[in-house]
A and B are shown apart, each in its own frame.
Chain A
């Protein structure tokens, strides 16, 4: 239904004349689609009454939805005809009406509000720029410039963020809930950085990263519960086991390329989850593993009010016991682990290994003909990334104290991958920003439990539509032959300026 902007020959003060027939057709079509989308699923709610399904009609909702969608489309069409001031007033009126009208559901009311505001915003943009909207390429270029500036700043932003993260738990407003959220964010940041090695650097699409996360978590839980090993012994072991998993999987499948590789990793993730779910004797099946020991203060002291054998953290430092101590310790633990992952991947990028990854990502065949052993190099990326996933997993297990296969579903893989792609593949800072957007925002709106995942899915789509290459997609080359201002840099710059001027 691509309706091109029809520039009619008869224009009134620079604006195209309204072609009511075309508008009517388009509106009718919109209404029809809206009807198709809402009539059954919205209009008829099924409910279970004594084992038999009945239908509860909700046709007012359908009518509201159709009218709202059609009006929204009408506003959009009017913007195309550059009737911006009219649309602005109408959409603000719709926004105002959304508070007054008796909407049958909160959802529709919110949609009316948000929709009204969005169209109003588009109208304002049209008013300022004298043409509807911003096209994709323009937006992309603007975002690229912003991303490039951000990238330049990142050498300052990075350390500032680290310092901020270190003093964060000691800020006065930090309570238990905020520390928990911060820890959760750091966990996803760490997973994102770990996956970034496979996806961002080596350019392999891994849809089963959660498998390594699960292997790490279960390794830690089983080792700690069955053999009574401490966290500090189990952490490296869990990493090693996860890396082994990555190696074993990577060995046969790394010959595959692109989507085939993606689907095999997806299958592997599901296989791991199903085994965890069904191997009852070993993993506890759906009941999971409980009573996973909490980490001690580097094996020296326990985070307990009183300890039977050994001393407590409070005694060690001669302070009063506070349950927050452990939470803050966990926070620092994950911060340290995440920073470790970040540092390792930043350093690896500068090694021949990292350069080989990026070369393979850019051109598989060219790199092979230059003598890069494709399978081994990719296997290294896969194994290292898996090990980091394993670390994150064991941290997860010790933080929760209880794990079950439910925590390791495909959705989790999808979320981690979304973080990496939304952030802009290969960008470390992008991962942080995407995590705050995808994990932080929904945490803040926890009260809207029902709508959280709905908004999460919609958000993923919208960010991709808005910025297909990821938020911080712009990245300078890792290595330049003649430094940042090599020979010919001035000439290139001048050419770019000239090109910009003529555009």
Chain B
């Protein structure tokens, strides 16, 4: 029981990170119907900006952890968003309205480019980071010889931050003018343009918002695992996309739910079966879900029109 609860906590933490990345995929897919393969690498860039940010904070002498964390988050969000915006502007916008595969190939190219760009600039070796936030709470004491369930402060921060961001983001999408524009473009771009929505800007903003959330996920991962390299974006991006599909692509709550599901599956599978095959488990479940419920948990079933 204790062991299970512990894995549940680990899975929730992991799932929060996947969920944050998955929102970027699902928003972009919702609006322009493309798989943004470079999104995983945007997350990787977020992690790199984060790790550099922490060193800068140390140099500047900002040692009060909440302030340092806040500043690094802001820095990561700002600089990563610029990448998100630029990628859309350069590689996707000119291809809007051409055949379906063109933006996909362009995105693949962008992903390869970004990986090698970071590798060239920052080196291929893994970047280690000293743990900044240590310690945690003890939730359940297993007694003598039993299993003690703990929740590190880092896990608490990740889960809390994700909940706060999700709440803020949901408010943004449901209550503000910006969110209304997003939803309008999602439903019908032409009609939205006719009633005065700047479609180009709205799509750009979707990329910027996705990049911002991915940047937060990147900073969190840097803190949580303590090592990053230029290749982390690929697998995380793949799993986050899996999460988005699992939750029902196009649905923001679904992305979060899918992220949590993938995180839990991974944690529980590693705990009870084998660590090596945790990715196989995640992908197999994706295949099963797609076969039996192609629209995911919360997606609307696609209606075929002739």
A residues sitting closer than 8 Å to B (CB atoms) are 1-2, 33, 36-37, 39-42, 44-48, 51-55, 107, 136, 205, 252-253, 255-256, 258-260, 262-264, 266-268, 270-271, 274-275, 277-278, 365-366, 410-411, 414, 417-418, 421-422, 425, 450-451, 453-454, 456-461, 464-465, 468-469
Contacts and interface: CB of A to CB of B under 8 A. Distances in A.
20 contacts: A40-B75, A41-B79, A41-B118, A41-B121, A46-B127, A53-B129, A54-B55, A107-B120, A253-B291, A267-B283, A270-B238, A270-B279, A274-B279, A278-B276, A418-B109, A457-B109, A457-B115, A460-B112, A460-B113, A464-B102
Chain A interface helix/strand/loop/mixed: helix
B116 to A, nearest CB: 4
A365 B302 CA distance: 14
A390 B109 CA distance: 26
Contact of A410 (B29, B56, B234, B279): B234
B290 A46 contact: no
B130 interface: yes
A260 B295 CA distance: 9
Interface stretch (B5-13, B83-91, B140-148, B153-161): B83-91
Nearest to A55: B55
Given A271-B279, A457-B112, 12 more contacts: A36-B83, A41-B122, A46-B52, A205-B104, A262-B104, A274-B279, A418-B109, A454-B120, A458-B113, A459-B109, A460-B108, A465-B94
A266 B238 contact: yes
A317 B189 CA distance: 70
Interface of B: 29, 35, 45, 48-49, 51-53, 55-56, 59, 75, 78-79, 82-83, 85-86, 89-91, 94-95, 98-106, 108-118, 120-123, 125, 127-130, 200, 234, 238, 241-242, 245, 249, 274, 276-277, 279-280, 283-284, 286-287, 290-291, 294, 304, 306
The 7 closest A-B pairs by CB, nearest first: A460-B109, A457-B113, A36-B82, A457-B112, A468-B98, A267-B283, A468-B102
A256 B286 CA distance: 13
B125 A253 contact: no
B116 A453 contact: yes
B97 to A, nearest CB: 9
Contacts of B122: 41, 45-46
A41 to B, nearest CB: 5
A12 to B, nearest CB: 31
A266 B277 CA distance: 16
A205 B112 CA distance: 19
A457 B280 contact: no
A420 B121 CA distance: 31
Contact of A469 (B99, B110, B238, B304): B99
B274 to A, nearest CB: 8
A469 B56 contact: no
B101 A205 contact: yes
Contacts of B276: 274, 277-278
B30 to A, nearest CB: 12
Nearest to A265: B287
Contacts of B100: 258
Contact of A42 (B35, B108, B121): B121
Given A410-B234, A414-B112, A264 B90 contact: no
A136 B94 contact: yes
A391 to B, nearest CB: 25
